[in-house]
Amino acid sequence: MLSDQEDLIYKYFPELVRRCDLKQIVKELSFYESSMKHAIVRMKDDGNRLHSNRCILFELLKMQITTWFDEFVQILRRQNLHELANKLYRTRSKHRGRVLIINNITFAYKRREGAEVDEDNQKVLFERMGFDVELHRDLQSFEMKDVTSEFASRVNYDICIFIIMSHGEKIKNQTVILGIDNIGVEEDFFIEQFNNKNCLSFKYKPKIMFFHVCRGDRLYTDMIICHPSIDGHKAHRDPIRGCWYMELVCKVFMENAYKTHVENMLKLADKYLSRRISETTRQTSVFHNIGFKTCFLHPGIYEE
């Protein structure tokens, strides 16, 4: 087993023990009959599921078969344990990742001097890390759309990285990226190409996106803007307990503000939020960092 995979199992060990039926899961592993069955049979069945799960995980961690981790993650998905499976990203295959770089340099009215350097640095970086890099220069607006949509349909890669560098502007509170024809494409178009509906090949896989474009004058700094849900989606409000998001923000801040900075507390609140499911609602919070530095709230500490 690879060391980083082992680290992930240990990191989520308590959660796997608590939430999974590991006896059933291991029976679906391809090597169960040859390698795991006898170990399971030897285990004393005292009806304690948590104890059995711990023993099974330790048996798995001792296995010399390096492929079981990937099988294990896929079985978690089949059993609708998507939240757990999503924590265990598979990022060690030969098809490590694919990078799309769109670099618009030459415009009729202004050239983006130095953009070639950024492009070269990115290409060298990701190729040395084992990624396949697809590079496009000087695209018109419709070409940016076509290239992005086609790229999002690619399969058999662990990680997706999308980089677009161009001129941009802010129109009606929307970031717009310009093609060399000076026609803009809303940033949301590119993001939507990689959602779980449009980009099935990268569903449940990490997607990293960089938009290197101007967005108007720099009037806003030192802000972190938080929302309880993704734009266009509902936020759950319980008539008894209040809003899920604000309940969890208050809980996390109360318990962690003395030792944890604000951005990490927001991530922790979102982690708890992702575990809540109602009959009609599942929610993901978002926050936007605008030049916001590391900030501790330091409860109870006062300086003159």
Please indicate, yes or no, whether residues 78 and 174 belong to a single structural domain of this protein.
no
Q: Across the 304 residues of the chain, what is the mean pLDDT of every consecutive 10-residue run? A: 68 81 79 67 70 83 71 77 64 81 91 89 89 95 97 82 90 90 94 89 82 77 86 79 86 90 93 80 86 86 72
pTM (two decimals): 0.64
Q: Are residues 188 and 255 in the same domain?
A: yes
Specify if 228 maps to a domain: yes
Are 58 and 120 part of one and the same domain? no
* DSSP line for 135-198: EEES--HHHHHHHHHHHTT--S-SEEEEEEE--EEEETTEEEEE-TTS-EEEHHHHHHTTSTTT
| Nearest one of 188, 162, 185 to 103, comparing CA atoms | 162
pLDDT score for 244? 87
Element (H, E) at 62: helix 49-62
CATH for 194? 3.40.50.1460
304 in a structural domain: no
23 assigned to some structural domain: yes
- Asked whether residue 162 is assigned to any structural domain, the reply reads yes
Give the Cα separation of 154 and 160 in Å (integer): 10
Do 38 and 2 contact (CB within 8 A), yes or no?
no
